Structure 1
Amino acid sequence: MTNSNAKIFESLLSMAQTLLKHRAETTQKPITPEMISQILDDLSGNALTKDMFAVVERDSLHNELIRRSSRTMGKSATLSSEKDHIPWLDAERKKGWTYWNRYSQYMETHIPWTALDALDAGTDEILSQLEDPKRKGHWDRRGLVVGHVQSGKTSNYTGLICKAADAGYKIIIVLAGLHNNLRAQTQIRLDEGFLGYATIPNAAELPAAGVGEIDTDMSVRPNAATNRGEKGDFNTATANTMNISPEQKPWLFVVKKNKTVLERLLYWIRNHVTDQVDLETGRKLVTNLPLMMIDDESDHGSVDTGEDVVDEFGNPDLEHEPKTINGLIRSILNHFSRKAYVGYTATPFANIFIHSRGETQQHGPDLFPAAFITSLAAPSNYIGPGRVFGSASSTPENLPLVRSLSDSEFHEWMPRQHKNGYQPRWKGQSQVPDSLAESIRAFVYACSVRKLRGQGNQHSSMLVHVTRYTSVQKNVLYQVEEYVRDLKGRYTRAIELEELEAFMRTEYENTFSRGMLSIRSALVEGETLEDFSWQDIRGVLPDVLSDIRVREINGTAKDALDYNDNETTGLKVIAIGGDKLARGLTLEGLCTSYFLRTTRMYDTLMQMGRWFGYRDGYLDVCRLYTSHEMVEWFGHIADASEELRQEFDNMVAAGANPKQFGLRVKSHSVLTVTSRAKMKSARPMLITYSGDLLQTIVFSNHKNEISSNFIATDRFLSALGPSTDLNNQHFIPKGQKWNGHLWRNVAATDVVSFLRAYRTHPASFRIMSALIADFIEEMNKDGELTAWTIALIGKDSGPDDKHRAVGGFSVNMLQRRRTTEHADRYSIKTLISPRDQAIDLTEPEWQAALDLSQKTWRQDTDRNEGRELPSEPRGPQIRHVLGKGLPEKGIKARRERGLLMLYLLDPDGSGIPELRDADPIVAWAISFPSSPSEKTVSNETYVANSIEWGRLNDWVD
């Protein structure tokens, strides 16, 4: 499709989408394929638009409209503080807005109307949390927007910038990462979405771009202090020539988080923008220009990692010296009397670890989001860790989307611990390993399928991320180039092709194509994706291979500009990189990833997941190649992130503020691994398990250790005395039936003794039975967790029933196959069923937890919430109700009650031959009610000096 035809397609798409939305609203009927056909009939018969159908495919329009109409949007949620805030944003203030209206029109051709409506509502919500830029005096609002990785945060803050400029914010600073490529990429996006022109360096005229092609009025063009070039950051030459006044159009600065750049910007503000001096402090102030600062990837580079920002009594150290970038950001803010700071991130852990009282005289308050935290929901077509790796409440089948690699498939070539200058070798040769070669072929198949589907002029990318060292990346680059060159030569010149072609045909038909079917069945909705035979693929292979380029991503702006330069033809690129690929940088049309980094920090690991995002029209050809260990860690991350989001939702429902959520995150039991500097915790970490669900999913695969835990469980249950049938609960919803045994009011000392006798596996970084026992004993001092409910839970009856007795009580063993192969352990994805945490609730408690579950339901697909309201209470809401109670409904808190759930796993069903005929594997889960208690326990496990921590994370040679 030519560029002009693409614009005609987008115009028709926008018109059809608007007409569909209007018809659906006026008829109060859902959009159907028939309704879409009627709209297209109307347009094709209209004298003004019928000629447009001669250059576009009607079927493509029809399919795209079906896809868009099937999308749903989740609901965002906000925790806020009204301190020193005056509500101001209403319909009257939004009249006559220019920048948002043209951006909205521009986005109509890029996203479904449901997503556009959500973008409008979401940016209104965020803007309303900021202050009215027309408000006089001194004000300061600092907030945080939490999205999903690669979920469209840039679109959100572009929309927010447009609305802020319409409302009257005059200086808009966007902190765009630490590297040139991300800064340039962000500049390009804002050129298109806000400025309306391409900021080409040294150009005589700046051509219209994006919104500027919709609205050609030059008089509304915002001013740009930076450009998209390699040296387009804020510089001295620009600073010396810039003068601004309140009457001018808004100014946009897109700058790196770089010491030199920020010092230059701060100097310019002090010497060219300030208009008053604070009589008390002597600080120069800007009082006539309201500032909005957007901090993209705000957890990276912006957080003060210095120690002791407050004294032992919680008072701020006014002489504290923050780290350089943090200090410069705060100093810039501190020179404005009217300012708003909004951080954007998908991994908010470091931001919430910021001390809420941190402040100095020179730099002003720290960047804690005291005003608000907004959690953005993902649309139904977003593919993130929850859907790829599952969560504690949802376990996806083993989809071919992820190819889990054993150490033997890459370790010889790229050991986890290697030094700068390392020369990778496979089978003694300087060549890619078989697994990387397989992934490159998968990318070739993906590009071929996309070409056959008419997506050949769209970008397609592959990520290779295996080392942080640029010297090693260069060696990888040469090896990948050589492999691609070999494929290209054989197919274009038919040299020694017969054996390779036979192999690739078998691989495509038996593995890749079948995988496409599985992925579509599990994850693709509202799309019809076409299959192709090997003959079809073979026909386009030479052209596809000829188009593929191999690039090293080294942080230059050119890396970000390549996509823009190839907009009409589509870039097909294999990107080799390390840290420069780890954050923020979007790889357009990412199809294939080969990813071996083994950092153990949640936030870094999440940000490295460039493969998350939107894959409309080609999700079934996407593949991720990564290690067994990484698959497990991403599963843990999905659980950790979801638990925090659930807690966030509960706090929103309770009307809490950001500071209260920050306190909860700091002690969250699962967040035991993030940057120690960002957590400012060189000492043992203090942990609470209140409000948490803990479940064992990692076990020893040695028979003697399995037997030891079985004996401990046998002794524990034997001492409890007679049980009641598990069906004899206080309340069981209609249609439910249970298999197992129940004990009530068991003493905490018995539970503690069991936990101290049971040995959790060392690789189970979150579940440490001795630490949990310590926590229970601490809570007992406040009269909490003193009377336990114990449930021995068996599998529902079926053809594979296998009963075993423990403690004299027979139970049907669960079947759980290992998720990944490990030499030293047996790992499963999840243990409990969603209903298990509701065991022995009273009917009012069950109903209250269900009501809260429905109230906090966000329809967020990546959180595996589904499209329908929950029909049974969810775990976090159960724990919330038990811990808080609902006095208005006569429900008292039951913080004395803990729930211990015990299970027997069938060793023969584990998939581990060495476990045949072993004792049953004892697994357990504990559901702790939430609590206002500040009792914690000290976790010594993750106390490590900088050398040890650096070694774990590849920082130290």
Structure 2
Amino acid sequence: MTNTPSGVLLDIHTSALAGMGSMPRHFERWAALAADDSHPDADLGEELFRSLLISGDDALIALWDRHLTAWDFAEDPPWGADSPARTDERRAVVYERLRFGTELRKALDEAVPVAKVPGATVITREFTPWYTPERAAARSFYWTAYEQKLRDKGWSEAAIAGLDQASRAVVERLTDPEQPTARQAKGLVVGYVQSGKTANFTGVTAKAIDAGYRLVIVLGGTLNLLRAQTQRRLDMELIGQENILRGADVTDVDSLVGVDYVGDDEDWPKFVRHGGRPSTLGAFDIERLTTRDNDYKSLAQGIRALEFEKRVPARPLHDPANLHHAAARILVVKKNKAVLTKLVKDLKQIHGILGELPTLIIDDESDQASVNTSDPKKWERGSTERTAINGLISKLLGLLPRAQYVGYTATPFANVFIDPGDEEDIFPRDFLISLPRPSGYMGVQDFHDLDDVGGGEGEAERRHVRGIYDSTGDRLQEALDAFVLTGALKCYRAAHGVPSDSFRHHTMLVHESVRMVEHTALALRINTMWHNAAHTRPEGHARLASLFEKDFRPHADGGGLPTPATYDELKPYVTDARRLINKGGGPVIVVNGDSEHDYSQPDLDFDRTPNVWKILVGGTKLSRGFTVEGLTITYYRRTTQQADTLMQMGRWFGFRRGYRDLVRLYIGREETLGRGRNAKTVDLYEAFEAICRDEELFRAELARYAPMVDGRPQVTPAQIPPLVAQHLPWVKPSARNKMFNAELVEVRSPGTWVEPTAYPEAPDELAHNTERWESVLAALSQDPVRLSVGDGPAYEARVGTVSHETLTKVLCDLRWSIPSQFSPHLEFLLEAGRQPAKIDDWLVITPLQTSTRRVEARILGHGPFTLARRTRRRGSLFGALSEPKHRAAALRTAGAVETAGNASVEQFVRPRRGALLLYPVVESEPRLTADGTVNAGDVVMAFSFVAPKSSVGTGRPLVRFRAIDSGRRDAIVIDRDDTHS
């Protein structure tokens, strides 16, 4: 406590806000109560408070940041007046309850802006609420410690509040650990590749053990290094020094025998401290059954390690009288057959207590090894081992009737489509939670211009993506120079005030092949190239200077990070970078073995090695679970036909604080896939983009259907497979006699962009479709009109209106390569035209292309039109078909946006009118007749549409499913022979 005005006010505000509890109240009254005894003469006026905020009082701002953010993020609080979380409306409600004046509100908004970030998306079955805010607050020892640890690491209050919310969403869907009846819940949490999923499951673990879960089993990857990294993270940020020491004296060497971290981990002082053994502080201890260096071998103290002392012996362990006084046990185990077999064997020897033991199983990278996949061909190897791991997880669940299973992954399709023939498997039947993209994360949007289909190079590609080849040949030397150059830029920034922790590690990943012999040759090539590069001689400096001027200086960060204006300023730091890279025997590490030997190299332990500045050459083992810290340059030309394998290769995704502008991806643009007669050339960058589009669409679909309608979920996890199958047609139940029991009937999409992509490939079917559009083509104006909305780009198009009946007649007659992709949307359009009709008519817009490669042609005697060029991305599916600059006019016409268009657009706006973009698309050079007419079988008549908001009533679910076997509504899958559809 201090006697300065700011110190006094901080004390009063701290007490007042703590007294309010979880809701904002009349602040002046609570502040007066807090000041009554200790500071009766304190100035509690808003003017002093406001002046301290404006002057930047860090402690006072931090206090209000914590509380305002917590109120901003609260989900449906009873005091919130139905205001949405993380909005200006919610903040206004908070200020009203605090009774703050206008000027103080402005100052607080300036000091603590509303974090308008998305929350987690939750797809859930109905469940019985038990994890109330009151119950969570009553027992929060480990969560509070973890929360403080995140603050110490520099997490913002918004990031902590987001994690609090997302981890709560998981815990509240687990079974109440105190309830008398045993029940298992199974769920899946979907994050982004290298996006901090560990932080979420650490938060879930903290909240779960606070709530009463007393055994936590974390399945921490398939490598000893990955398991040890997960163990260390939990030890450092959750379990803490006192639980690790278990009473040992850090000043007594003899008592520290067998204690990890003390003396050999420079970060030991950063491990959480609880201020004493938790059991002496009114909480409970955590006992580790695995350590940093030792995976599970057997129960360390024999079976007694899982004996729980009951305060009331006549009651079960899950009774509150016993549960909250018992120590928790944590195991971090490798997903390995021998390890899990030993654990299952030991648990079988324990009788009685297992049925009373609330258990949480966390499965990190849950789509790896854990899944009995529904499509074995998509896995490159190891199907027997994966089946074994899956069986052992099922045995764990069978032995522990109160166990809850939560899988974590960034590539969810394998989990969502787990072999449905085994209904006792780990299918996430209870919940599926999609985490939001974290702040500061570099992901797909930073490397791919997903909305740009015009064929040109977009901003993201210009900044970060380079081809493997240029006019001079292979660009590996350039990539190596870029690695040295970015290392020098990091040294420059560290010397100019950027925290050096951002540059602790600096790495380059070279990924060309899965063949070990090729890795050895490639490592030799890079080493030779390194020694001949002459980076510290005039010719080397000339190359680096040229690369700096043409590639790095033009894209230097504009957010305040120091960047030299000329190469001469950077030149002194090149030597520093080269020395760090060459340290320890050379620049290259090969990581490709099936054994653990590769991963025992010190330079691969990013936690315990102070500075890793290396070039990593490897294959599959670098693609899964293993985080390459400090990754700045990637040279990637590995080809694969496995979608999830390709997605996991996105090691270049992650957090790049202080150097995101320096990240470069050299990726194959024309790579050969397959061999011999089956060989084909693919654009690896586009192939990766196609997978990313599927991921983004999957997340968008989940977000769209997550809101409750009349208190009930629109979609449950069991209904996800047919929903996602619209754009992943390869997903099917594995057994020929099996089928998903949920059939998607209708998708309502008022005001939402809908873009089918599953067009047929056969010329006769394309001709059939083209002919169906004749009545629409006849309705288009001969003269083009110029369309624009707001400050957006203008373009010319031929337009016309057709009745809803005319359009739906066309759509009903179309043929599709995957009919199920469009049929739910067609059902919606047909329903919207029934009495009373909700759609009157449609504005059809056919944009005129301006590309120099455009081809003009007549179609069925109408036109001329310009033909758009598009390519299919997977099988019969196209990628994006419509161009972003064309969509605005359609969205405005259908009333989906408020921004007004030009007169040509506004004349078409009607309350019950939809809009449709129609593109005559060609995939290769079209055949034209003498009068310029295109062959109907060469054209894909592609379209996108947006229906008016009048097309669906309020309070109705956006999706409608039908149970194929209505007698088994809760079954995920049924026997095909049992149905008559």
TM-score between the two structures when normalised by the length of structure 2:
0.65
Distance 1:380 1:740, change over 3 A: farther
> Is 2:633 aligned against 1:592?
yes
Query: Which amino acid in the other structure matches residue 552 of structure 1?
Result: V
Distance 1:211 1:246, change over 3 A: farther
The 8 Å contact of residues 464 and 593 in structure 1, kept in 2 or not, is answered as: yes
Query: 1:515-549: per-residue Cα shift (whole Å, max 9, x none)?
Result: x24xx46xxxx554534521233212122112114
Which residue, 447, 451, 459 being the options, matches 2:487?
447
Please state how far the C-alpha of 1:723 moved relative to its aligned partner: 1.0
Query: Which amino acid in the other structure matches residue 148 of structure 1?
Result: Y
- Report the Cα distance in structure 1 between the residues aligned to 2:819 and 2:51, rounded to whole angstroms: 55
Equivalent residue, structure 2, for 1:314: none
Query: 1:310-334: per-residue Cα shift (whole Å, max 9, x none)?
Result: xxxxxxxxxxx99321111111122
Distance 1:173 1:102, change over 3 A: same
- Report the Cα distance in structure 1 between the residues aligned to 2:351 and 2:739, rounded to whole angstroms: 44
> Is 2:674 aligned against 1:612?
no
Query: Which amino acid in the other structure matches residue 275 of structure 1?
Result: G
Which residue, 467, 470, 474 being the options, matches 2:520?
474
SS in 1 for 2:117: coil
> Is 2:714 aligned against 1:663?
no
Equivalent residue, structure 2, for 1:143: 187
The 8 Å contact of residues 698 and 826 in structure 1, kept in 2 or not, is answered as: yes
Query: 1:381-430: per-residue Cα shift (whole Å, max 9, x none)?
Result: 22211342133489943533443436x679xxxxxxxxxxxxxxxx9xxx
- Report the Cα distance in structure 2 between the residues aligned to 1:591 and 1:712, rounded to whole angstroms: 51
Distance 1:565 1:816, change over 3 A: closer
Distance 1:233 1:688, change over 3 A: same
Equivalent residue, structure 1, for 2:975: none
> Is 2:352 aligned against 1:275?
yes
Matches within 5 A, 1:216-235: 216-219=275-278, 222-229=286-293, 232-235=294-297
Please state how far the C-alpha of 1:115 moved relative to its aligned partner: 0.5
Matches within 5 A, 1:33-72: 38-39=56-57
- Report the Cα distance in structure 2 between the residues aligned to 1:640 and 1:570, rounded to whole angstroms: 37
- Report the Cα distance in structure 1 between the residues aligned to 2:359 and 2:210, rounded to whole angstroms: 13
The 8 Å contact of residues 813 and 906 in structure 1, kept in 2 or not, is answered as: no
- Report the Cα distance in structure 2 between the residues aligned to 1:533 and 1:799, rounded to whole angstroms: 38
Q: Point out the more displaced range, 238-247 or 337-346.
A: 238-247
Distance 1:222 1:469, change over 3 A: farther
Equivalent residue, structure 1, for 2:410: 346
Matched residue count: 755
Query: Which amino acid in the other structure matches residue 75 of structure 1?
Result: G
Give 5+ residue unaligned stretches, structure 2: 1-9, 18-23, 28-44, 62-109, 246-255, 280-284, 310-325, 377-384, 582-586, 670-682, 748-752, 835-840, 902-910, 927-931, 948-957, 965-981
Which residue, 558, 563, 567 being the options, matches 1:530?
563
Please state how far the C-alpha of 1:175 moved relative to its aligned partner: 0.8
Query: 1:460-508: per-residue Cα shift (whole Å, max 9, x none)?
Result: 1211222223333233223223323333xx34xx6xx333322222122
> Is 2:919 aligned against 1:902?
yes
- Report the Cα distance in structure 1 between the residues aligned to 2:481 and 2:50, rounded to whole angstroms: 38
TM-score between the two structures when normalised by the length of structure 1:
0.66
Q: Point out the more displaced range, 194-203 or 435-444.
A: 194-203
Please state how far the C-alpha of 1:609 moved relative to its aligned partner: 0.5
Please state how far the C-alpha of 1:228 moved relative to its aligned partner: 2.4
The 8 Å contact of residues 362 and 407 in structure 2, kept in 1 or not, is answered as: yes
SS in 2 for 1:287: helix
Matches within 5 A, 1:403-418: 403-405=465-467
Equivalent residue, structure 1, for 2:844: 791
The 8 Å contact of residues 130 and 141 in structure 1, kept in 2 or not, is answered as: yes
Equivalent residue, structure 2, for 1:95: 138
Query: Which amino acid in the other structure matches residue 538 of structure 2?
Result: E
Query: Which amino acid in the other structure matches residue 324 of structure 1?
Result: A
Distance 1:732 1:512, change over 3 A: closer
SS in 2 for 1:594: strand
Give 5+ residue unaligned stretches, structure 1: 1-14, 44-65, 277-285, 309-320, 360-364, 411-426, 428-432, 757-768, 851-869, 874-890, 911-916, 937-957
The 8 Å contact of residues 224 and 334 in structure 2, kept in 1 or not, is answered as: yes
Query: Which amino acid in the other structure matches residue 451 of structure 1?
Result: C
Equivalent residue, structure 1, for 2:341: 263
Matches within 5 A, 1:262-341: 262-271=340-349, 273-275=350-352, 286-305=354-373, 323-341=387-405
The 8 Å contact of residues 221 and 625 in structure 2, kept in 1 or not, is answered as: yes
Equivalent residue, structure 2, for 1:9: none
- Report the Cα distance in structure 2 between the residues aligned to 1:498 and 1:214, rounded to whole angstroms: 53
The 8 Å contact of residues 465 and 665 in structure 2, kept in 1 or not, is answered as: yes
Matches within 5 A, 1:851-862: none
Equivalent residue, structure 2, for 1:550: 588
- Report the Cα distance in structure 2 between the residues aligned to 1:400 and 1:180, rounded to whole angstroms: 39
Equivalent residue, structure 2, for 1:624: 665
SS in 1 for 2:638: coil
Please state how far the C-alpha of 1:450 moved relative to its aligned partner: 0.9
Query: Which amino acid in the other structure matches residue 348 of structure 1?
Result: P
SS in 1 for 2:193: coil
Equivalent residue, structure 2, for 1:282: none
SS in 2 for 1:464: strand
> Is 2:328 aligned against 1:250?
yes
Task: Find the structure with the greater CA-based Rg.
Answer: 2
Equivalent residue, structure 1, for 2:160: 116
Please state how far the C-alpha of 1:101 moved relative to its aligned partner: 1.3
Matches within 5 A, 1:387-406: 387-392=446-451, 396-397=458-459, 399-405=461-467
Which residue, 676, 680, 689 being the options, matches 2:734?
680
Equivalent residue, structure 2, for 1:647: 701
- Report the Cα distance in structure 1 between the residues aligned to 2:847 and 2:656, rounded to whole angstroms: 40
SS in 1 for 2:372: coil
Query: Which amino acid in the other structure matches residue 741 of structure 1?
Result: V
Query: 1:834-888: per-residue Cα shift (whole Å, max 9, x none)?
Result: 8749959996xx46xx7xxxxxxxxxxxxxxxxxxx9799xxxxxxxxxxxxxxx
The 8 Å contact of residues 144 and 374 in structure 1, kept in 2 or not, is answered as: yes
Query: 1:584-614: per-residue Cα shift (whole Å, max 9, x none)?
Result: 2111121111122222333222221111121
Equivalent residue, structure 2, for 1:943: none
Query: Which amino acid in the other structure matches residue 571 of structure 2?
Result: R
Sequence identity (%): 24
Distance 1:623 1:784, change over 3 A: same
For the aligned residue pairs, the C-alpha RMSD in angstroms reads: 5.5
> Is 2:883 aligned against 1:832?
yes
Structure with the larger RCO, 1 or 2 (CA within 8 Å, 6+ apart): 1
Equivalent residue, structure 1, for 2:437: 378
Distance 1:721 1:935, change over 3 A: farther
Equivalent residue, structure 1, for 2:33: none
Please state how far the C-alpha of 1:287 moved relative to its aligned partner: 2.5
Please state how far the C-alpha of 1:826 moved relative to its aligned partner: 15
Distance 1:713 1:303, change over 3 A: closer
> Is 2:799 aligned against 1:741?
yes
Equivalent residue, structure 1, for 2:282: none
Distance 1:184 1:206, change over 3 A: closer
Matches within 5 A, 1:703-722: 718=774, 720=776, 722=778
- Report the Cα distance in structure 2 between the residues aligned to 1:74 and 1:235, rounded to whole angstroms: 43
Distance 1:173 1:696, change over 3 A: closer
Distance 1:531 1:713, change over 3 A: farther
Query: 1:212-271: per-residue Cα shift (whole Å, max 9, x none)?
Result: 444342446522222222xx2211474747622334422111112111111111111111
- Report the Cα distance in structure 2 between the residues aligned to 1:373 and 1:486, rounded to whole angstroms: 53
- Report the Cα distance in structure 1 between the residues aligned to 2:687 and 2:487, rounded to whole angstroms: 29
SS in 1 for 2:123: strand
